[in-house]
């Protein structure tokens, strides 16, 4: 008998793991080399990398570790970010588009190597990633993306017809050797190394403000101080936003995901449609190892959904029923993603004149690779290594167009009124 109704409560597959590890709340003033605010992908990876360099690090989380965006992702680890590369080539030029690809490939490779090195069972599988269209209208976009791959030296494969989907695909662009995994298992797997190397981890510790140029001080809501040489703000949205004006430079999108038990064999690749509904698919294992299919999509600007909150889930369920059959739907969840003006994350010095205050935000829907790329870059900034991506991701970059900024401010102001 099938139980294919939608769950009443939003609940993510990734947080359904049997781990009761918890960390204390900060109850005293401390002094460290690096304070990291926000224990998601970037925060945990940064703490892992910096403690390996012998730095004294405090990782501070307002809620529970990995309770934010990381726990609500589809966890595709890929350098294929929709049909982004032809847009990037147009917006920021070939050289920068190529660097963006390299930064994400390096992050992917770091995840593979680290899972191996730390012996983390994160259900990591090497998969093809592919984008596709089922409509003549979007063929042109896919062809442009394939041309961008050629220009940038990305080894994409063009395919059509039967690419393992239960419906006809007009055109697909495939990237081999990408990865899918269980994000919470992977990033929790870095915590033992952080602790072993002297890192401190605090949960339930909210930060009120960060002040000071050469030696920033973070003040907790309970009045404790964390004095540090460097502070990394890797909370989803930079909370200390008086000077960075990130409000005017980040656009919030909400998207939805179902985990279903399908009747028919799902595609082996991780797939993403570039058509308007933008459906994303990948396989996963449930808590008992049962095979699941994750169906994501139905994205919209946060606060702008004119339909009921359930409508996006119903649309994803209909897609699942039509093409794969739905035996049951054990999980449903949604996430908010932050998009930047030029589609490149903001990673680096928060604002001019405060080089000890660093930020990482605006990963779009690709937080697994962009978040790790951010940690690798911030480590190099702090230990004084040169890094090819400093200027590419610099939050202070001047190429951000005034017209775009104006559009974002308008968009965000409108949203806050709703």
**Which tokens in the block code for residue 43?**
């925060």
Q: What are the structure tokens assigned to 283, written together?
A: 């396989």
User: Residue 310 has what pLDDT?
Assistant: 84
Q: Which of 74-83, 141-150, 242-251 has the lowest mean pLDDT?
A: 242-251
- The domain tally of the chain equals 1
**Lowest pLDDT segment from 9-23, 259-273, 283-297, 305-319:** 9-23
**pLDDT cut 90: percent of the chain above it:** 70
Residues 257, 183 contacting (CB under 8 angstroms): no
State the residue range of the domain holding 217: 19-73+185-249+342-417
Structure tokens at 333: 């969840």
Nearest to 70 by CA among 333, 317, 342: 333
pLDDT at 418: 37
Please tell me the predicted confidence (pLDDT) of residue 416. Answer: 39
| Beta-bridge partners for 357 | 231
| 249 close to 405: Cβ distance less than 8 angstroms | yes
Alpha-carbon distances, residue 14 vs 81, 281, 356, 369 (angstroms): 22, 16, 34, 17
325-364 tens-digit pLDDT: 999 999 999 998 999 989 999 999 988 888 899 999 999 9
In a domain, residue 270? The reply is no
Q: How many CB atoms lie within 10 A of CB 231?
A: 29
**Residue 405 or 72, more confident:** 72
Between strands 357-361 and 225-233, the pairing is: parallel
Tell me how crowded residue 227 is: count the other CB atoms within 10 A of its CB: 15
In a domain, 413, yes or no: yes
Position 204 in a domain: yes
Q: Indicate whether 206 belongs to any domain.
A: yes
Identify the CA nearest to 297 among candidates 256, 344, 353.
256
Global pTM? 0.93
The answer to the question of residue 177 being in a domain is no
Query: What DSSP string runs through 289-325?
Result: S-EEEEEEEEEEETT---S-TTHHHHHHHHHHHHHT-
204-221 per-position pLDDT tens digit: 999 999 988 889 999 999
What's the CATH code of the domain at 32? 3.50.50.60
Listed in sequence order, the residues at least 6 apart from 34 whose beta carbon sits closer than 8 Å to its beta carbon are: 46, 50, 55, 56, 57, 58, 228, 229, 230, 231, 232, 382
Phi, then psi, of 335 in degrees rounded to 5: -140, 160
CB count within 10 Å of CB 20 equals 4
Looking at the domain assignment, is residue 129 inside a domain? no
Q: Look-up: residue for tokens 């502070």?
A: 231
Q: 3-state secondary structure string, 236-259? A: CCCCCCCCCCHHHCEEEEEEEEEE
In a domain, 286, yes or no: no
Residue 3, domain member (yes or no): no
Q: Does the structure show a pLDDT above 60 at 408?
A: no
């Amino acid at each position: 008998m099938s139980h294919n109704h939608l769950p009443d409560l939003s609940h993510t597959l990734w947080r359904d793991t049997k781990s009761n590890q918890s960390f204390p709340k900060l109850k005293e003033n401390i002094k460290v080399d690096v304070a990291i605010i926000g224990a998601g992908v970037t925060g945990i990876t940064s703490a892992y990398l910096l403690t390996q360099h012998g730095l004294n690090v405090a990782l501070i989380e307002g809620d529970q570790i990995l309770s934010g965006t990381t726990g609500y992702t589809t966890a595709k680890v890929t350098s294929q970010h929709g049909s982004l590369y032809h847009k990037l080539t147009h917006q920021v030029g070939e050289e920068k588009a190529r660097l963006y690809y390299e930064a994400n490939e390096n992050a992917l490779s770091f995840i593979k190597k680290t899972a191996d090195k730390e012996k983390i069972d994160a259900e990591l599988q090497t998969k093809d990633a592919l984008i596709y269209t089922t409509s003549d209208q979007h063929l042109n976009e896919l062809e442009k993306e394939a041309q961008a791959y050629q220009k940038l030296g990305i080894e994409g494969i063009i395919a059509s017809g039967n690419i393992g989907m239960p419906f006809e695909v007009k055109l697909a662009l495939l990237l081999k050797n990408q990865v899918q995994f269980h994000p919470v298992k992977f990033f929790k797997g870095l915590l033992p190394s952080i602790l072993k190397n002297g890192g401190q981890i605090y949960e339930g510790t909210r930060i009120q403000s960060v002040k000071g140029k050469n030696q920033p001080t973070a003040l907790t809501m309970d009045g404790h101080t964390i004095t540090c040489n460097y502070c990394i703000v890797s909370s989803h949205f930079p909370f200390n936003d008086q000077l960075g004006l990130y409000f005017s430079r980040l656009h919030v999108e909400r998207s939805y995901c179902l985990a279903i038990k399908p009747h028919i064999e799902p595609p082996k690749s991780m797939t993403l449609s570039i058509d308007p509904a933008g459906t994303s698919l990948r396989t996963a294992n449930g808590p008992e190892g049962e095979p699941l299919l994750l169906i994501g999509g139905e994205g919209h600007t946060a606060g702008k959904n004119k339909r009921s909150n359930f409508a996006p889930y119903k649309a994803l369920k209909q897609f699942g029923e039509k093409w794969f059959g739905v035996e049951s739907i054990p999980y449903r969840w949604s996430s908010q993603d932050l998009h930047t003006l030029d589609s490149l994350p903001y990673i680096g010095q928060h604002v001019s004149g405060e080089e000890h205050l660093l930020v990482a935000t605006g990963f779009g829907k690709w937080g697994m690779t962009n978040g790790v790329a951010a940690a690798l870059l911030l480590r190099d900034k702090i230990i004084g290594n040169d890094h090819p991506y400093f200027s590419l991701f610099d939050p202070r970059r001047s190429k951000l167009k005034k017209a775009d900024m104006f559009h974002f401010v308008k968009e965000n102001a409108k949203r806050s009124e709703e």
